[in-house]
Amino acid sequence: AMNIRLRFVAGKDDISLAIILRSQISTPFSPSHVEAVRPDGKYVGQHFRGGMVARDAGYDKSIMAQELFVDLPATAEQADSFYAFVNSKIGSPYDWTSILDYVLPVDFHISGDAICSAAMELALRASPAPYLHWPVTVPAHLISPRDLLLMLSCIVEIPH
């Protein structure tokens, strides 16, 4: 067995604060970003500037208020599916129009693009060995980092 590791972050920049405000309350904090932690230690996630990128740990320390690592016990096949999906998306654009969906009742999502939490939810559902076995009841592009943390708190204990 292996782990799939996710990193949830609360940023203190303007975009992060807007996401946190819209997300409402979560324990231990309301995250504004989520990304994968690869076995090599690189953080891979979708960013408003740059899209899906792999970065070194500490890249965001100047704008990070809090972070939480969540380890999901997984089979080797599930971890392989998750990380293969994450790595295959490096270079893909950020779905910046989905951020507008949080404010206005219109679907601005660009098919094929993703925000950070959508990318991680889709990675957790990636074939051939999905960690999450069923599609969720909300489109991936509308899943916030808080929503994903809530979903995972039904699977593993999240410290409060």
- 107-146: per-residue pLDDT in tens? 554 555 567 888 899 999 999 999 999 888 988 777 889 9
Q: What is the mean pLDDT of the chain?
A: 86
Interval 7-29 mean pLDDT: 83
Quote the CA–CA distance of 143 and 113 in Å, as a whole number: 13
- Taking only Cα atoms into account, the Rg of the chain, rounded to an integer number of angstroms, comes to 14
- Burial label, 86 (beta-carbon count in 10 A; 0-12, 13-18, 19+): buried
pLDDT of res. 91: 92
- Burial label, 108 (beta-carbon count in 10 A; 0-12, 13-18, 19+): middle
Interval 15-31 mean pLDDT: 81
- Burial label, 102 (beta-carbon count in 10 A; 0-12, 13-18, 19+): middle
pTM exceeding the 0.85 threshold for the entire prediction = yes
pLDDT of res. 125: 94
Residue 92 pLDDT greater than 50, yes or no: yes
pLDDT of res. 21: 77
Q: DSSP of 23-74, one letter per residue?
A: H---SS---SEEEEE-TTS-EEEEETTTEEEEE-TTTTTTTEEEEEEEEEEE
Max CA distance (Å), the chain = 43
SS3 readout for 107-119 = CCCCCCCECHHHH
Interval 5-30 mean pLDDT: 85
pLDDT of res. 109: 46
The amino acid that residue 18 corresponds to is: A
What would the pLDDT profile of 34-63 be if each residue is shown by its tens digit? Answer: 999 999 999 999 887 788 999 999 999 999
Quote the CA–CA distance of 23 and 37 in Å, as a whole number: 23
